[in-house]
Structure 1
Amino acid sequence: MPRFEVTERRKAQKEQQRRWDLPAGSRLWAYVRHSPGEKQTIDSQIAGMRDWFTENGWVLERTFADEALEGSREDRAQFQAMIALARQGARQVDGIALWSFARFARDQLDAQFYKAELRKLGYVLISKVDDVPNNEMAPIYEAFIDWKNQRFLEDLSSDVKRGLSFVVDQGYWPGGTVPVGYRVEKVEVGKRHNGEARMGNHLVKDEELAARVLLAWRMKLDDNASYLAIHEATHLYSDSKHYSDFFDNLLYAGIFKYHGIRYPATWEDGGRFCEAYISLEEFLQVQANRQKRTRQATHPRSLSSGYLLTGLLYCGVCSAHGKPTTLVGQTDTRRPDTRVYRCSTKIRDRGTACSLPRIPCWRLDGAVVDMLRQHVLTEEYVRAEVERANTILAQSTTTVDVQLEEASRLAKLQQKKVENIVELIGKFGMTDILQAQYDSANRAWLEATSRMNSLKAQSLQNRVRRISMADAQRMLAEMGQTLTDGTLTAQQELVRRFIDRIDVFPDRIDVHFKFRMDAFSQAMSGLTVEETEQKEEGSDVRSLRQVYGRCPHARTLRRAVKHRRSASVYRSGSASVYPWRA
């Protein structure tokens, strides 16, 4: 096509984009919308638009209406249908009429983006409510209107949140679904401007569900029962998976967490938002019980790894920057006997993504194993732990025996009650009252029996689990033997039994255990260097990297191998890990 024709076509398109007026007879689409809760309805907007069209002599081709949808949402069905239709080929109508630019969009960027796109396609945009001149100044006026519309939405959201927070601070429920076990009780809290009563929602216990809710918490608190067992006993929800949110809710302890703030403000001093089912201490105990039933999944690659500490190592440098990253084991393809741990972020991004250098496997593995031998797998520590465990078991057995005696007595009483009701049914026949009494008594008997059986199993387990010092010493010797010449799988299992994670830094490692460590005055950390003569397994001659790890000044240290400079491994202390950084 000749350049002249291309230029003329572009000029024509520009002229179409600069159209502002809509003469009589123009064909238009209309777009209307209203948000949830607004008094103005779609029907009133459509009726007003039709009158406006009649006054100006325009032809209404189609109306796009989004009902009960916020203007801040971009995924409005009719709005997107209108935009998609406008994008299809040649311009289908002369323009689009809006009730107001606030109806079009309340997000400033969305409004400007879609209006600019429609105008580039040749559509004229006009608002019934907003007083905007139909000329080149229209986009400037509209920019202020769009800002005002978005600001109105932000101010409205802020005002609503402030008002609801004030309602909660006064001890009233802000609205929404009420947790199971509670119901709303209307309370007059003041008068409106028109003299009508202003009502507040006060949470009270639901008498119909209170017993079952309390039973669910007691089962989790006393027996650490599973969600399935609690569901079968209470049927508070349609499915057992909902009990996770149930036990997460601090409201059952009388404390309401709203927008990240706990109400009432005096909750630490004993103040409560509503009547509680359990105390705060019991709620915390339930969370600890739930944690005991949590299974920590281990990736299959970690289970089949050929490195001792795979899955336990985390880069302390990356974690300090808010990006928790694991360390992975690698083997040098040129030197099969050279094995190191590297930060996975550094492997993936390279460069200066992480300052943690490569760490030889034998160095880190040896440090962890030595720590277990010197501080955990010792006769003194094991003796102290055995005595403590037996003391706890003895106290637990005494407590369980008392509870078992009470549970057995209660189960017999409930069984006798069920037998009496069955006898009455045999004499007088089944009635609605007897049916209800039988169902209630039978449920109570089953719950009491279930608790009694659970306490019996717990009492028997406590008696069986008594630990003798001889058994502890035998297990201690077996674990020491495993660390010395056991298989890699056995060593990995043993290490993971004691250690939860290891944070590795350039100058130390921090070890997090899965149990109490009273033998230490502080957390086990600061593992640094000690001179020793260790070699990588299977290696007769050690390279410089095997001795020192990856050194930025390796070229200047090549002669060190000839002088048999000693290797360095981690242990407890406070020196520097790498000799060139000492």
Structure 2
Amino acid sequence: MPEYNPPPVDLPPGSLVFAYLRDSGGPTQEGSTAQQEREIVAYCRVHGLALTHIFSDVARSGGKVDGRAQFMAMIDATKDPATRPQGLIIWNFARFSRDVDDSDYYKSMLRKRGVVIHSLTDMIPDGPYARLVEKVIDIANEEKRRQNSRDVKRGLAALVREGFSPGIPPRGYKAVQVSRGETRDGKARMASRWEPDPELFPLVQLAWRMRAEGASYKQIQEATGGKLYRSINCWVDFFRNRSYLGIARCGELEFHNHHPPAITPETWEAVKRVERKPRTGINSPRSKAYPSLLAGLSICSHCGAAMVHHKGHNWPYYICGTKDRKGNLCPNARRIGARKVETLVIETVLNRILTPAFVKDLLEETRLQLQDTIIIEREIETRREALKITQRGIMRLLDLLESGQLDTQDVKDRLKQREGEKARLLYEINQLEARLQSSQIEITPEALALALSVWRGELEDLHTAGDVAALRRTLTRFITKIELDYTHVRICYTYPIDGLITPKTSQNFGGT
């Protein structure tokens, strides 16, 4: 048996001891814990120590205690004085921990419980300087861990920079072993590259094209026949993976043109635009699967959050989404009975909003407000001039971006700002033009009566049939928003009067 440090005087023959073993994993440490166990068992036999339990963490880093279940079990096993050992035997202090703070904390805990910590291979002198030497060893162990980490990261980055891929390839690629030279003893040094999988790569490209065109995950799942993923939830991470652009990552570093790309940057941006579109309101998956009449139409009158619907046991209700998720962030919101408020909304639409007298009064009020169109025309002209200036600015920024005369990110940020200004101006121009055209609305009494009769009949039939989803879709033609509170309901309404106005234009008008 090799020469190891003899047990301290605090561990005489017959002492009860635990053993803790650990290795960090990897091909060079396959037999590490087994070798530690053999040596510690033999050591205890030679020195007459009663080894009662062996705790072993295989392929676990010593830089933290998270994930080291056996280490924590060993610590917990020393709590009970009835089963507490007199000592803990370890191969060396690096097996115990490679973090100085963790080492100090757990060593102090064990020592306060009267447990002697003994390393077989670390030379710790007797006397007052023993703890100082131990501290130096712990610092050296932590520094060794950092050095190893830096060396591994540097080696991995070098591999990736050369076009090799040490990790698992994304779906649609396969790892192909290739030679990258020879070792000093003449053996082939092998590494892997990512290459398109002939069977799955076309499906990957199909999935990206479909998503860029706005297809849902379910549609993509059906089109790919479940060959890429069995679960529909996997597509979320799939469309976030920049590896499909031909980019490899190693830590914080990115290496472009690392492997054959599956998509172009334009496809990536198109998918990101689809992913950024809100999936709330009446068209959200939840609203389609579990329809409720006012979901997607109603908001909280206190904080503006969307109202959510709960079935309850025998009393369905609506509640502020913020209140439902975060409690006291909307303290004034209360539960609102669904049956009562839904009936109130339908009766208001049928008995007030869709009545000839109400619509006539609204039309007359609208004409009076829009009689003076000069101001509106001036505002339209002002915004059109501003739009021309903004468009010229966008063209100049695009020229700079293509020529590379300025920093690319600065130009992109400014271009994004200009695009936002353009969108805002176009929206304002459309709104002003709608106001201008609304001043010329003319509807004959006969056409108005016919339209209202058709709309009311459609709503009444759907309400009687109990088709909640269809009734909600129809209501969205007349209701833009409903503000709900426990004591009042505020309905913002509109009218789809296409084909009934003179001159013939397609406009909506409404109010609250």
Residue of structure 2 in register with 1:305 after alignment: 301
Residue of structure 1 in register with 2:88 after alignment: 96
Q: Is the counterpart of residue 206 in structure 1 residue 197 in structure 2?
A: yes
Q: How does 1:312-351 map to 2 (within 5 A)?
A: none
CA contact (8 A) 2:178 2:192 kept: yes
Equivalent position to 2:258, from 263, 267, 273: 273
Cα–Cα, structure 1 residues 471 and 49, in superposed 2: closer, same or farther, change >3 Å?
same
- Give the Å deviation of 1:164: 0.7
- Give the Å deviation of 1:289: 2.7
The one-letter code of the counterpart of 1:473 is L
Residue of structure 2 in register with 1:457 after alignment: none
The one-letter code of the counterpart of 2:59 is A
Residue aligned with 1:125, SS: strand
- Give the Å deviation of 1:477: 10
Equivalent position to 2:255, from 255, 263, 277: 263
- Give the Å deviation of 1:74: 1.4
Equivalent position to 1:288, from 253, 257, 273: 273
- Give the Å deviation of 1:489: 4.6
- Give the Å deviation of 1:237: 0.7
Equivalent position to 1:112, from 94, 100, 104: 104
CA contact (8 A) 2:299 2:481 kept: no
Structure 1 residues 216-264: Cα deviation after superposition (integer angstroms, max 9, x where no partner): 122122x211111111101221112211221212222222243233213
In structure 2, runs of 5+ residues without a counterpart are: 1-7, 285-294, 306-328, 333-374, 389-429, 442-479, 485-489, 493-512
Q: How does 1:181-580 map to 2 (within 5 A)?
A: 181-221=172-212, 223-234=213-224, 235=226, 236-264=228-256, 272-292=257-277, 294-295=279-280, 303-306=299-302, 378-380=379-381, 473-474=436-437, 489=483
Q: How does 1:47-62 map to 2 (within 5 A)?
A: 47-62=38-53
CA contact (8 A) 1:21 1:134 kept: no
Distance 1:183 1:143 in 2: 47
CA contact (8 A) 1:94 1:124 kept: yes
Distance 1:146 1:55 in 2: 28
Cα–Cα, structure 1 residues 145 and 255, in superposed 2: closer, same or farther, change >3 Å?
same
- Give the Å deviation of 1:121: 1.5
Equivalent position to 2:122, from 122, 130, 134: 130
The one-letter code of the counterpart of 1:212 is L
Cα–Cα, structure 1 residues 470 and 96, in superposed 2: closer, same or farther, change >3 Å?
closer
Distance 1:135 1:476 in 2: 99
Residue of structure 2 in register with 1:143 after alignment: 135
CA contact (8 A) 2:376 2:432 kept: no
Q: Tell me how large the CA RMSD over aligned residues is.
A: 4.1
Distance 1:249 1:132 in 2: 51
The one-letter code of the counterpart of 1:290 is E
Distance 2:178 2:58 in 1: 33
Q: How does 1:70-85 map to 2 (within 5 A)?
A: 70-75=61-66, 76-85=68-77
CA contact (8 A) 1:386 1:469 kept: no
- Give the Å deviation of 1:200: 1.9
The TM-score, its normalising length taken from structure 1, stands at: 0.49
Structure 1 residues 171-218: Cα deviation after superposition (integer angstroms, max 9, x where no partner): 11121x211111111111111222211112111110011221121122
Distance 2:191 2:376 in 1: 60
Distance 2:382 2:20 in 1: 77
Distance 1:145 1:40 in 2: 24
Distance 1:196 1:50 in 2: 38
The one-letter code of the counterpart of 2:32 is T
Residue of structure 1 in register with 2:411 after alignment: none
The one-letter code of the counterpart of 1:120 is K
- Give the Å deviation of 1:67: 2.1
Identity over the aligned pairs, expressed in percent? 32
Residue of structure 2 in register with 1:67 after alignment: 58
Total equivalences in the alignment: 320
The one-letter code of the counterpart of 1:285 is A
The one-letter code of the counterpart of 1:148 is A
Structure 1 residues 426-446: Cα deviation after superposition (integer angstroms, max 9, x where no partner): xxxxxxxxxxxxxxxxxxxxx
In structure 1, runs of 5+ residues without a counterpart are: 1-18, 265-271, 312-327, 332-373, 388-466, 479-485, 495-582
- Give the Å deviation of 1:148: 1.1
Distance 2:440 2:131 in 1: 83
The TM-score, its normalising length taken from structure 2, stands at: 0.55
Residue aligned with 1:303, SS: strand
Distance 2:149 2:231 in 1: 35
Residue aligned with 1:207, SS: coil
Residue of structure 1 in register with 2:151 after alignment: 159
Structure 1 residues 141-180: Cα deviation after superposition (integer angstroms, max 9, x where no partner): 11111111111111111111111111111111121x2111
